[in-house]
Amino acid sequence: MKINFFKIITFIFVIFFLSIFWLGLNKDNNYSTKSLTGSRISNFQIPSIHNDNLISEGYLKQNEFTLINFFASWCAPCRVEHKYLIKLARKNKNIKIIGINFKDKKSNALNFLNKLGDPYDFVAKDPDGKSSVIFGVYGIPESILINKDLIIIKKIIGPIDQKQFDEILKLTQ
Amino acid sequence: MMFRKIIIIYFFLFSSLQSNEASVELIEIYKNLRCLICQGQSIADSNSDFASTIKLVVQDQVKEGKTQKEIYDFLVSKYGEWIVYQPALSKSNFLLWFLPYLVLVLGGLIIFFITRKSKHNKD
């Protein structure tokens, strides 16, 4: 029996393109920076919201674990996750929580913390959002858990919920 | 007096030319960066909050004298390869680079065999 070369090539092409479409359709198209877990954060200096003090790598190296949380008073999901940050600050002494106030007015941010409680060991300000780029932030709320070598252990995109709260506790104990 | 006027005109002309060059470079960089929270838009096309922040960061880095490659490398280290429209060749994307050439060669082969077959049939 003579094999038709043209038919074989066409068949291979069809199978190949169908496999690519199948893989493409099954791939999660939502962008996430979770893949950057394991990378190290460096070269930053962010001023405090209260005074001229700066937070930098040196401060974070003193802590066993640090959770860097990006928040703003205008961000509704930040209000939802805030109770978990308060609980975390009370429950776990291994972890320091740094708040970075993102594109917000100082008075609004301070009102937010007065009203909902202040779980942060240091509150920094990032009025134009440029400092948040150093941490790969592209929307808020976002939280980054790092160890004292400044390696990212976990990235939480969106508000912290009960499941993520439990996971943070587990990772930091 | 005339000399002063010439100096002033020259200064304004020169500074506007310089700023045009800088903005052309900025737009070129913005066009090569993907807006991560938009649907199919570059940083140049988007007015989103994320795009405006990235524009500010790029402007600062251009002012600091950083090259385009240094700016792209910085943003890739923060957001991953997805932020640039032209990712570097790697294991995961080699098909993206070589598939067009592969299709070209295979297409050429198919045309070659079809024409050869029809020639044989005529003979």
Crossing angle between the packed helical segments A76-91 and A162-171, to the nearest 10 degrees: 40
Q: What is the pLDDT of residue B18?
A: 55
CA of B106: which chain A residue's CA is closest? Answer: A9
Q: What is the pLDDT of residue B120?
A: 81
Chain B residues inside the 8 Å CB shell of A31: 36-37, 82
| A23-57 pLDDT, tens digit each | 888 876 667 776 778 888 888 899 999 998 999 98
β-strands A65-71, A95-102 pairing: parallel
Please judge whether A6 and B114 are an interchain contact, meaning their C-beta atoms are less than 8 angstroms apart.
yes
What's the rounded Cα separation, in Å, for the pair B20 and B16? 6
Q: What is the pLDDT of residue A52?
A: 87
Q: Is the peptide bond before A159 cis (omega within 30 degrees of 0)?
A: no
Please judge whether A39 and B77 are an interchain contact, meaning their C-beta atoms are less than 8 angstroms apart.
yes
Percent of chain A with pLDDT over 90: 68
Is ipTM over 0.90? Answer: no
Chain B residues inside the 8 Å CB shell of A135: 78
B109 part of contact set with chain A, CB < 8 Å: yes
Copy the structure tokens of residue A39: 């990378």
What's the rounded Cα separation, in Å, for the pair B18 and B13? 9
Could you tell me if B36 and A138 are in contact, meaning their C-beta atoms sit under 8 angstroms apart? yes
Q: What is the pLDDT of residue B87?
A: 75
Confidence (pTM): 0.76
Cα–chain center distance at A145: 8
Chain B residues inside the 8 Å CB shell of A5: 113
Copy the structure tokens of residue A28: 């999660």
In this structure, of A142-151, A158-167, B56-65, B93-102, the range with the lowest mean pLDDT score is B93-102
Q: What is the pLDDT of residue A107?
A: 95
| A61-95 pLDDT, tens digit each | 999 999 999 999 999 999 999 999 999 999 888 89
CA of A126: which chain B residue's CA is closest? Answer: B53
Q: Is the peptide bond before A141 cis (omega within 30 degrees of 0)?
A: yes
Task: Give every CB contact of residue B55 below 8 A, 6+ residues apart in sequence.
Answer: B26, B30, B43
Q: Of A154, A26, A171, A15, which is closest to residue A92 (Cα–Cα)?
A: A171
DSSP 8-state secondary structure symbol assigned to residue A33: S
Q: What is the pLDDT averaged over residues A110-130?
A: 95
Q: A167 or A31: which carries more pLDDT confidence? A: A167
CA of A9: which chain B residue's CA is closest? Answer: B110
What's the rounded Cα separation, in Å, for the pair A117 and A112? 8
What's the rounded Cα separation, in Å, for the pair A62 and A47? 18
Residue-averaged pLDDT of chain A: 90
Could you tell me if A70 and A140 are in contact, meaning their C-beta atoms sit under 8 angstroms apart? yes
Q: What is the pLDDT of residue B14?
A: 57
In terms of DSSP H, where are the helices of chain A?
5-26, 57-61, 76-91, 106-116, 130-134, 162-171
DSSP 8-state secondary structure symbol assigned to residue A136: T
Mean pLDDT, consecutive 10-residue stretches, chain B (123 aa), reads: 70 57 85 90 93 95 93 91 83 80 88 85 74
Task: Give every CB contact of residue B82 below 8 A, 6+ residues apart in sequence.
Answer: A31, B34, B36
Q: What is the pLDDT of residue B11?
A: 62
Specify the residue for token string 């993206």: B96
Q: What is the pLDDT of residue A79?
A: 95
B22 part of contact set with chain A, CB < 8 Å: no
Please judge whether A138 and B113 are an interchain contact, meaning their C-beta atoms are less than 8 angstroms apart.
no
